[in-house]
């Protein structure tokens, strides 16, 4: 299918008329084309969003009416769940059941922020007699959203919904590899009759359209999810125009497993947290810290579970689908090569080519032990179904290992000792801490973001609305 960009209420080709091919990562068959947007196309989108933001039509839309729009979006997403899920699978490669979960999460984001649209409140501040002082939260203006390739529907929905709830206008730039469901969201807004320019989607390469958007002088806030390296470039570009940013830059998240935990439940979630979307998840539980007394037995359980998982094209709804690109696959293999020399590969670590997997880049889930905590395997985000294991003797050692990277996005703690769980949660350097669970069903209401190089700012929940509002203080003297 040949897609177009959505700018100012119209479906447009790129100014250059150039296109980018889009592929199904399961077999590298072509699924369509998208416009190759560049700076001139970004200019059109930002101008449309700016014009819409200051228009009397958009300003006349009451907060509860914005909520109705978002509720209608949630309804439409659920009505089109089959098509959305299939396109998410064709774009990203993930198993259909995971795509359906993403569709439901997207609908829930729009529902959640629909309910918040008329509840963005200020407060009164006692200053002195004869003075009424109060604050109001106003929309920031044009918000830019550069969304990654691994969860385009979910991440596009969560930031777009929050921004619109607060009264802003948006410009989304999806990844060139996985653009379709973001364009489908634009299509739904169009069908619902949203004001022209309120929602815009520009497609193109990151170094062209993405760079133009992050450095644009007329945006008022930028949300970016991606790598640390690109996040730094995005932040520098935005800083030139004094534009605030929200950055979510990945993780090296640990599951900390104590001997007194529910072992079956822990194994289930440890495996799920590293194999979902073939490990191509910023919050993946990519490090396993296991109390030494159960280390060998627990590793054996994980190994057995890994070897039971099915691998196939996402449309067949296996446990694990393909790695998105050959480049990403080769990067993962380079880490496994390090493990073969410096650690121990317990299982996996090889390309899977059986049946219909011949033309895609499928990887057997990989379990690695005997890892040096200071090595690249332990410190760098691999972004694949690769789990590194570290034994510990004491609670203090577990804490040191957990905090021993430059990332701090998510942590899982598995123990029946509630005091221990609280002690660790208190000292873990991580934006989210889960005790005897991991992920909490998507956590729509739960603030999400990181410490250290995992970024700053928070998405999801009520907290995300702070990204998309600015505070104004008003003081009235009446004596």
| Residues noted as catalytic | 248
Q: Which of 176, 103, 145 is nearest to 325 (CA)?
A: 176
The three-state secondary structure class of 444 is: coil
340/334 Cα distance (integer angstroms): 10
313/83 Cα distance (integer angstroms): 17
- Reading the block at residue 479, the tokens are 């004596």
Own/partner pairs, 27-32, CB within 8 angstroms, 24+ separation: 27/313, 27/356, 27/359, 27/360, 28/359, 28/360, 31/1, 31/90, 31/91, 31/180, 32/1, 32/2, 32/3, 32/180
Q: How many other CB atoms are found less than 10 A from the CB of residue 430?
A: 23
β-strands 455-456, 245-248: how paired? Answer: antiparallel
Residue with tokens 């910023």: 282
Residue with tokens 């592929």: 23
- Reading the block at residue 318, the tokens are 């296996």
């Amino acid at each position: 299918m040949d897609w177009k960009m959505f700018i100012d209420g119209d479906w447009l080709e790129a100014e250059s008329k150039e296109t980018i091919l889009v592929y199904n990562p399961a077999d590298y068959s072509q699924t369509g084309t998208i416009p190759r947007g560049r700076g001139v196309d970004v200019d059109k989108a930002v101008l449309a969003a700016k014009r819409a933001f200051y228009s009397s039509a958009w300003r006349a839309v009451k907060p509860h009416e914005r909520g109705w729009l978002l509720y209608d979006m949630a309804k439409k997403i659920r009505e089109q769940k089959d098509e959305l899920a299939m396109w998410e699978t064709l774009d990203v490669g993930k198993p259909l059941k995971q795509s359906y979960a993403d569709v439901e999460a997207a609908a829930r984001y729009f529902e959640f922020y629909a309910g918040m649209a008329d509840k963005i409140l200020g407060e009164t501040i006692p200053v002195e007699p004869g003075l009424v002082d109060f604050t109001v939260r106003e929309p920031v203006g044009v918000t830019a959203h550069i969304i990654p390739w691994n969860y385009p529907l979910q991440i596009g929905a969560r930031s777009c919904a929050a921004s619109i709830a607060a009264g802003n206008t948006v410009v989304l730039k999806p990844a060139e590899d996985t653009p379709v469901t973001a364009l489908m969201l634009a299509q739904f807004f169009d069908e619902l009759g949203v004001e022209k320019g309120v929602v815009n989607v520009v497609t193109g390469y990151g170094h062209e359209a993405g760079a133009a958007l992050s450095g644009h002088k007329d945006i008022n806030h930028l949300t970016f999810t991606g790598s640390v390296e690109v996040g730094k470039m995005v932040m520098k570009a935005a800083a030139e125009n004094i534009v605030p940013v929200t950055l979510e830059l990945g993780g090296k998240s640990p599951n900390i497993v104590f001997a007194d935990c529910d072992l079956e439940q822990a194994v289930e979630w440890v495996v799920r947290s590293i194999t979902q979307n073939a490990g191509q998840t910023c919050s993946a539980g990519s490090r396993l810290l296991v109390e030494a007394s159960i280390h060998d037995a627990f590793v054996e359980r994980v190994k057995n579970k890994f070897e039971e998982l099915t691998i196939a094209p996402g449309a067949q709804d296996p446990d694990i689908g393909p790695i998105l690109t050959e480049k990403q696959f080769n990067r993962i293999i380079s880490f496994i090569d390090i493990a073969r020399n410096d650690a121990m590969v317990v299982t996996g670590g090889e390309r899977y080519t059986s049946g219909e997997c011949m033309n895609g880049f499928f990887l057997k889930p990989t379990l690695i032990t005997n890892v040096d905590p200071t090595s690249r395997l332990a410190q760098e985000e691999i972004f694949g179904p690769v789990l590194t294991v570290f034994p510990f003797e004491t609670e203090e050692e577990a804490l040191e290992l957990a905090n021993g990277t430059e990332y701090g996005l998510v942590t899982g703690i598995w123990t029946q000792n509630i005091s221990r769980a609280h002690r660790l949660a208190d000292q873990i350097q991580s934006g989210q801490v889960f005790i005897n669970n991991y992920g909490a069903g998507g956590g729509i209401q739960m603030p999400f973001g990181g410490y250290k190089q995992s970024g700053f700012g928070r998405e999801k929940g009520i907290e995300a609305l702070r990204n998309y509002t600015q505070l104004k203080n008003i003081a009235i003297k009446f004596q």
